[in-house]
Structure 1
Amino acid sequence: MFKGEKINTTENRSVLHVALRAPRDAVINSDGVNVVPEVWAVKDKIKQFSETFRSGSWVGATGKPLTNVVSVGIGGSFLGPLFVHTALQTDPEAAEAAKGRQLRFLANVDPVDVARSIKDLDPATTLVVVVSKTFTTAETMLNARTIKEWIVSSLGPQAVSKHMIAVSTNLKLVKEFGIDPNNAFAFWDWVGGRYSVCSAVGVLPLSLQYGFPIVQKFLEGASSIDNHVHTSSFEKNIPVSELFMEISDVNH
């Protein structure tokens, strides 16, 4: 995995989520190209955007700062970020950083779930993050259009570019939707859905809520475990030990 070999045999792809939390000076190749600089370019962009957003410099269509975030995604684009968000809510430093802010997630196309995600929120102070690599995921785009209508009905069509951003690589469809392509954050084919929380899928909404420095600590923690798995002997390797214990439990 760390060598960039295509161990995802069904799709003939590398599996490089470890690159998403690797140090800036690391070298992790995919098809002979070090992907770490590109990863850090996106993280630097997220850092800059989240700082602008959290400082109040990014304002909505009415001139008000935005304090609420709704992240629209499904599967790994929803579960991982929600898991980390739930954990960070119990951390004193993170809780302090999130004061006065709300982060919600929308995955289900059930109208009740849509209503829950925007309940008591003011469109004038809400930013929506649409998470879809291709910008064609059926459930995500249905929800994105519904939330877009909620914004437009209150603030007008010109508000979309101020109140909606994207995590996607399909800049053509992002632009057609009304989102400024400059406010689209990329991730890559070698990021599996269930591991995508360390990409812009999770780092962006979590940074908007808690600030990039706190999210970077989470990434550094993940990187430390990657290093442990990569360098520790089987006898001292925690995940390997857990694997053998699970096998033993199943057999007995």
Structure 2
Amino acid sequence: MELQLPEIDLGTMGIEDPDAIARAIEIGYRHLDTAQIYENEDVVGEGISRADVPREELTVATKVWADDLAPEDVRRSTEESLDRLGLDRVDLLYVHRPIEAYDPEATLPAFDELRAEGLIEHVGVSNFTTAQFEEASEILDSPITANQVERHPFYREDDLLEYAREDGHTLVAYSPLAQGKVFDDPVLGGIAAERGISEAQVSLAWLAGTDGVVPIPKASSVDHLEANLVAGGIELTREERARIDGIGEEGKLFE
């Protein structure tokens, strides 16, 4: 089954209040992204249980951290994630980073096994280069449905986007607001002023309007949650997009 993700999704790193998760779901968010290393899977799970939305309407994603990527640890840590989330399966399970215990030939078959047993619906990778993605694709029986990478107006790896489009997987963009840097950029500020919207909405609209890209901004207040969702429906002009495309890249925030 193909994985269809909404235009704007919720990154949960740093969210410690289950009610913030429940609010997000009830406002309209349907894809929730967490990770073992965030140490808030229990918060996300409690928020899901508090929200008056059927589980089958949600896409829940988590990630196996780098020191748990040995085959036996993949299974153990995933089962622990499910327990913390209060779920019998997750819709998307990522290899968080291809470092430390990551061994493609050993790690990836463990993901296939979890999928075959119904504990996960889809396999994803995160912070993978094109070469690493290709290697993983050759080893996995499961299709890789997403590569989650840092992407914002100050850092884009367009080779990854081009490859994602050719392969047919989604590029999930984390840190889409560049840790708040979008609020200080004159190009984004100019477009925001002309539009009567925020710099954050400009950045999210630019990302969501890029074919094959899905941003996952973090937000917890109702105002920010709603504003981010609205951004998914804002269509920038070709000229506005060109102005943003012309912003000089400043490098990655997360190595």
Give TM class, smaller chain: 0.3 to 0.5
TM score, norm. by length of structure 2: 0.32
Which of the two has greater helix per residue? 1
TM score, norm. by length of structure 1: 0.33
Q: Which has the higher contact order (CA 8 A, sep 6+)?
A: 1
Larger Rg: 1
